[in-house]
Amino acid sequence: MVEFDFQAVLGNTPIPRIEWESNNIIMLSRLIALKNSSAIYAVIFLIKKNIFFFRNTCYYNITFGLTERSRSTDRRGITPPIFLGYLELMEKVLSCFIDEAGDFGKFDKTCPFYYVAIVFHDQSVDISKSISALDERITYWGYPLHAIHTGPLIRRESFYSEDEREKRRSLFNALFHFTRKLDIFYVCPRVDKRLLPLCDDVTITDKLSKEIKSELESHADYIKNFDKVIVYYDNGQRELTKIIASVFNSLFDDVEYRRVKPVDYKLFQVADLLCTMELIKEKADRNSLSKSEENFFGKPRDFKKNIYKYLDIKKLQQ
C-alpha cells in the first residue's frame, strides 16, 4: 500500500469551490504532484464520485477522511484538513468466456468447421447497467430470463419453435446490440476439417490446440497486462475443456477456471452469439446460407453489412 499524507500537503489552506465536469478524469499522480489546494479539492471531488484512476495499467482505490466534522471550521474561514489518504493497488482481472460451434466428430459437409469464441472482459469495467437493460428487453418481448442460444433462435428450434420471425429477430437484436455496445474484445480460432489428413479426435485435438495457442500467443502482451485470468466455460465438450486448461496454463501464470451455467452469464451468451456469427460469415462468403438464415438475415451481403461488420470490430487486434 502506498500512503500519501494529504494533511502535510494541504495543511489549513482553504479549498476553493471549483466545478469539475464529471467526465474530466484527471490522473491522481498529476494532481498530487501539483501540491496545491485546487488540486486536492479536485481529488476529493473525484473520490466522492467513486472514480477509479488509471496509470500504467494499474487501478487504485482511495480512502480518505477529515480531521474535523464537515463545515465545522467555516467560521474560522478554513476547510477541515484531510488526514491520511491511501492509494491501494487493486488486482487487475481478465475474464475469458468461451463457447464453441462444432464437434470432434467425423467430417460433415454441412458443418465442416469448428469454431471457438473467446470473449475478453476487463473486470474493472462495470457492465451491470447493460445487463439490466438487456434483461428488460428480454422480458419486454415476452420471454422469461433464460440463456439465449443464437443458433436455435435463428433456426426456430427448441425453445423458440413456436415463435414467429419478428419476435425471434427482436430477441436477437437485443443480444446483438448488447454485444455491439460492450467494452469487450474477442478472438475466434477455427479448424477447417476439410483440410485435415484424418478427421478423428486426435487430429482435431492437435490442430485445435495449436490454433488456440497461436491466437492467444499473438495477444499475449494484452493478456499479460492483467494480474489474473479467469476462464469461464460450461464444460460442454470434454475435449475442449482439456485443451483450454492445457493451453492457458502453458502461457499464463495465474489462471482460474470456473464452470458456468449459461443462464447466469450474459458474456457466455455473447460468446455463443459470436461463434454462430463467425460460422454464418463463413457460409456467407461461400454464398451458402441456409433457408432459415436467409429468412432471418436476408442475402449474404445483407448479413455482412447489417450484422457482421459491427461485431468484427470487436476482434482483438495484434
pLDDT (tens digit per residue) in 216-248:
999 999 999 999 999 999 999 999 999 999 999
- pLDDT value of residue 173: 98
DSSP string of 96-154? Answer: EEEEEES-SSS--TTS-EEEEEEEEEETTS--HHHHHHHHHHHHHTTPPS----HHHHH
Let me know if domain 93-312 sits in CATH 2.60.40.
no
State residue 285 phi and psi, 5-degree precision. -65, -30
- pLDDT value of residue 76: 54
pLDDT (tens digit per residue) in 255-295:
999 999 999 999 999 999 999 999 999 999 999 999 999 99
- pLDDT value of residue 164: 96
**Res. 185 pLDDT band, cuts 50 70 90:** very high
Considering only residues 63 and 295, tell me which one the structure prediction assigns the higher pLDDT: 295
Cell numbers representing residue 70 in the block = 464537515
- Say what percent of the chain tops pLDDT 90: 63
What residue segments make up the domains of the chain, in order of their start?
A: 2-90, 93-312
Residue 31 neighbours by CB distance under 10 Å: 19
Listed in sequence order, the residues at least 6 apart from 110 whose beta carbon sits closer than 8 Å to its beta carbon are none
Q: What is the pTM of this model?
A: 0.74
Dihedral in degrees, nearest 10, Cα atoms 202, 243, 219, 129:
130
pLDDT exceeds 80 at position 45:
no
